Structure 1
Amino acid sequence: MAQAEAPVSLEAKSPFEMRVKLGETVPETDVRTALKTGDMGFLHSFTTGSAVDGPGLRLVAWTTACMFRCQFCHNPDTWTLANGIPVALDRAVSEIQRYANSLKLMHGGFTLSGGEPLMQDRFAARLLGATKKMGVHTALETNGYYGERLSDEEWADVDLVILDMKGFALEQHKRVTGGLSNEPVMEFARRLSALKRPMWLRYVLVPGLTDVDEEMKPLAEFAASLGVVERAEVLPFHQLGRYKWERLGLTYQLEDTEPPTQQSIDHATAIFAAAGL
């Protein structure tokens, strides 16, 4: 399979950099083979020094392709596989190896995020497995929709799952994500509970969209009932990705939405804390 790679740096200062059309010249047959084998992945970038994507300081790889169309997405350029840099698996592993010793010394690790990494499940599984063999802590940030794509043995290579929950009620989840059900997500969460895999829960607080007590309370109770959720993170909505929607010619429904107030953040945090998270 041809491993055509765009002459673009794998490293970015932040995931908020705009990156498009970096993999559109890869032949369709090579794309299909890559998705089947995991020999090649499509990445927005690697970023270093993250202190919010898992314990300690993290090296983060951001994949492209996502099935959700969340109203509050700050990286819509990662929705499309063809926007990513085509990267051979060996090259991605070598990139992580460069930082392995430092990550271990700083009690950090490697996080695979997106986009939605499980849309490239073979690449994700092989990359995380190789990282685990280095003795580096591994984390996967996912919306959980395609959790069944990894086997129990492959999930054992993931030290931490960061689950981005978009909504608890079916209709709310559809409203936020562009029409997709959360039933696979809920089933995935229950499966991780049964496997005793450590989880963090993330919830984006958007005024007028997700700052709903009737959503947050049952979601918090559900997460607490799993018995493996180590922490819940309430992420305040921001407008850092707005320019990407504009440049991509996408309709942005939250154009006039302000970030949540500290009072609303404290209120949401208290809801999750009250559930024992």
Structure 2
Amino acid sequence: MSATVRASVHSWDVVTAADGPGTRFVTFLAGCPLRCLYCHNPDTWAGRTGRHMTVDELIAKMLTFQAFIRAAGGGVTVSGGEPLLQSHFVEAYLHRCKQEGMHTALDTSGLLGARATGPLLDDTDLVLLDVKSSDPETYRKVTGVALDPTIAFGDRLAARGTRMRIRFVLVPGLTDDPGNIAGVADLAVRWSDVVEQVDILRYHRLGVGKYRELGLRYLLPDAAPPTGEQLAAAARHFTDRGLRVTT
């Protein structure tokens, strides 16, 4: 039955980046309830923009790369958009991936963490939890939604022993307040029994052209990528707490 579950799939790719360990088969599901000011994939916001695929169809795509991915120490990652908008599909897909012997990762904001069932998380080896901010006011400014569900999901993952990587985007003038960064570091320490590392991601402007193509206004026209010094200063908040950091 699970093989016939369908999802709106924006795209898929084979990448080696910040999507989990090794080379990954990454599926980007369409649809997202967040409107992050720095989002570089606004074309994933609407669920109707994707291609409808079954679990079987997506597994068939993944299997064409399976030998290469395994040799590169990788696995599969489900991303978005926000993948937990289509949690039934994610659950069925990750289960099939585990049956195929693949390492699995879920990239999520945590906003819809309550939709992640126990079986879904049982088949998830790693959660890439995007913590956009530790300050509720800044978080809402950045995303348009509340912070509390993300923290609740992180607490749940830590309690059940699910491995995590925390991902934080450093945007000068928006998320770079030292108190805000320190708060994200404190959350990582709170979940440190399961947090493998913290990935500080550089804000970039690579998606600006997509806004023009979609007729959307880009809301951070003056923001610049962080300097090396700014990244190093942010990283110290985490390393000083004994956390492993990548930038």
Q: So what's the TM-score if we normalise by structure 1?
A: 0.84
Contact 2:3 2:55 in 1 (8 A): no
1:1-277 → structure 2 map (5 Å cutoff): 39-178=5-144, 180-226=145-191, 227-277=193-243
Structure 2 SS opposite 1:162: strand
Secondary structure of 1:44 counterpart: strand
- Unpaired runs of 5+ residues, structure 2, are none
- Could you tell me which amino acid in structure 2 is paired with residue 139 of structure 1? A
Deviations 1:26-77 (A, max 9, x none): xxxxxxxxxx997111112111132321111111111110000000000001
Which has the higher mean CA deviation after the structures are superposed, 232-241 or 222-231? Answer: 222-231
Which deviates further from its counterpart, 70-79 or 147-156?
147-156
Bigger shift: residues 224-233 or 45-54: 45-54
Q: CA deviation at 1:190?
A: 0.1
Instruction: Measure how far apart 1:106 and its partner are.
Output: 1.8
Displacement, 1:120? 0.6
Alpha-carbon RMSD across the aligned residues, in angstroms, is 1.5
Structure 1 unmatched ranges of 5 or more: 1-35
- Mapped partners of 2:242, 2:214: distance in 1: 41
* Structure 1 segments of 4+ aligned residues over 3 angstroms from their partners: none
Letter in 2 for 1:235: L
Task: Please give the alpha-carbon distance, in whole angstroms, between the structure 1 residues aligned to 2:15 and 2:117.
Answer: 30
Give the deviation of 1:153 after TM superposition. 2.4
Q: Number of aligned pairs?
A: 241
- Partners of 1:153 and 1:106 lie apart in 2 by 27
Corresponding letter in the other structure for 1:233: D
Q: TM-score, normalised by structure 2?
A: 0.94
Q: Distance in 2 between matches of 1:106 and 1:259?
A: 30
